[in-house]
Chain A
């Protein structure tokens, strides 16, 4: 008899595999999505490059090197945190495709988290190549973090960020249980308004007024992009780092509870449409 844990894992490995195949079935759309990412980086890069065109200029504590590192770090962190398949959950709920998963002995959260990992794996592979190419083209000064403590904290914060984003998506994507036509709207609100603006995916958040930053530091959003990058750039002291890790871990816990309870309520309201 094989190890039961191993057996259960092999189930999710199969999901990982098929998900990977699926991504390749839509090669063109995947490439377009990567192209979009590159353009985004270009725009943000040139914006800040222009701002820092005067020698030795420092804005909000960022010199040219750190700002451009921030921009490059964005590619990698975005690929880790914001590339997610779980956005399809709303459609599954609204169109009743969820039924196909509920009927099989597989955990729906783990299923999507596995698909997320598969998507992230693919995106990161591409993002690494892109970063290298862009680096060779733009030749920006790049800040390389050497402190092992910072690197370990950086990785930890990325893992927490991935979990936070996954659960935020899942909660938002539960809306169609009660309002099947609102899935896309609520998703848009979360990813475009909250995540893009408040996570630091467009600009480093410390350009914002201090009071606003303080409020933000208690929401889950800055821990998605901004906080991990700050750790990498070595811009946070140990006290703030520990506070940040604790707050994001707390959010992981809170969001997990919310996700479970919303989902259980949702399943009771689920109407398994489509017939």
Chain B
């Protein structure tokens, strides 16, 4: 009897450990919103007041993916695809319509203090800093809310403010700060309790190039040093390419890709790029017959051709043009992601 108990406990431990490896588990998550449909104009407003027509908006349709502990995953898709909705559900703000979710072993919706103390949600357009007061007041408030010991607080604050270069701004009224300064202080407020899981929604939106780079460097560092799990949405290509190894692409509430950036290229690139160096001037029109001209600056020419015909195209080029050098490249990941953002339904190419 005793042996069986021990065995059972062992089994439990091992499954628990397995679950523990995953920071985020999402299975068959669905979220529907109810929206009132309003017709145009005054008569429409009156009509919707008298008999409101409800419409179900299906924001998330059965999505499934997982994130390992310490992983930094890019979560991308066009506007309205369901990225922010997913982040809000994961941080316990929205009630899921159906499906199973678990973050650090917790059901986010219960919003247990032990759970909330380990996560943070940063949205580029939201602010938790008190607008009329200096940022230090909000930070002090967060220290009390998250019950951070004084010593730890001093250390973390010192580290964060020097990394993000905002030490001198702590005592300035928040409304007097520039957006970039404010965003960095928002990040300090969001990271003060050293969350193990970080949901970042457009963290670099509205920042200039230098500030963006600072933010990226910081996130990269934070992820590595703290072994923090980060799920990041961004419209900024550089954010994704520099930070995320793995991306999850969502479109119209469905996951259409989940894997490494490299894989994204091999699966979704429909075209290849051929760059040529010409030894002599040649007829431009003839290039157009072979592929789409991406760049034409003598002596360099870049053509985009469907990947199935790349061999034929290059043979033809070598045969009919004064080619000094020819290289074949993959479609850059930026351009694939850009197509995703445009809402272009990217279909898997047949070649695998």
**A residues adjacent to B (C-beta < 8 A):** 7, 10-11, 13-15, 17-18, 21-22, 25-26, 96-97, 99-100, 102-106, 267-272, 274-275
A18 to B127, CA, bound (A): 16
Contact flag A272-B142 (CB < 8 Å), given A103-B121, A105-B116, A105-B117: no
Q: Which residue of A lies closest to B128 (CB)?
A: A100
> Does B241 have its Cβ within 8 Å of any Cβ on chain A?
no
Contact across chains for A14 and B144 when beta carbons are under 8 A apart = yes
**B residues adjacent to A (C-beta < 8 A):** 33-34, 84, 88, 91-95, 111, 113, 116-117, 119-121, 123, 125-128, 130, 132-133, 137-138, 140-147, 201
Contact across chains for A22 and B84 when beta carbons are under 8 A apart = no
Tell me whether chain A's interface is mostly helix, strand or loop, or mixed: helix
Q: Which residue of A lies closest to B122 (CB)?
A: A103
CB distance from B247 to the nearest CB of A (A): 21
Contact flag A11-B147 (CB < 8 Å), given A100-B126, A102-B111: yes
- Looking at B34, B93, B130, B147, the one whose CB has the most chain A CB atoms below 10 A away is B93
From B113, B119, B121, B141, give the contact of A18 (CB < 8 A).
Answer: B141
A10 to B145, CA, bound (A): 9
Residues of B within 8 A of A18 (CB): 130, 133, 137-138, 140-141
A14 to B137, CA, bound (A): 9
Q: Which residue of B lies closest to A267 (CB)?
A: B95
A268 to B128, CA, bound (A): 22
From A11, A17, A99, A270, give the contact of B126 (CB < 8 A).
Answer: A99
A99 to B127, CA, bound (A): 10
Contact flag A104-B144 (CB < 8 Å), given A99-B126, A274-B126, A275-B125: no
Contact flag A270-B116 (CB < 8 Å), given A22-B132, A25-B132, A100-B126: no
Contact across chains for A13 and B144 when beta carbons are under 8 A apart = yes
A14 to B139, CA, bound (A): 10
A106 to B144, CA, bound (A): 10
Contact across chains for A271 and B145 when beta carbons are under 8 A apart = no
Contact across chains for A103 and B91 when beta carbons are under 8 A apart = yes
Please name 8 further chain A to chain B contacts, defined as beta carbons within 8 Å, in addition to the given A97-B126, A103-B116, A272-B93, sorted by A numbering: A7-B147, A14-B145, A15-B144, A21-B133, A22-B132, A100-B126, A269-B95, A270-B93
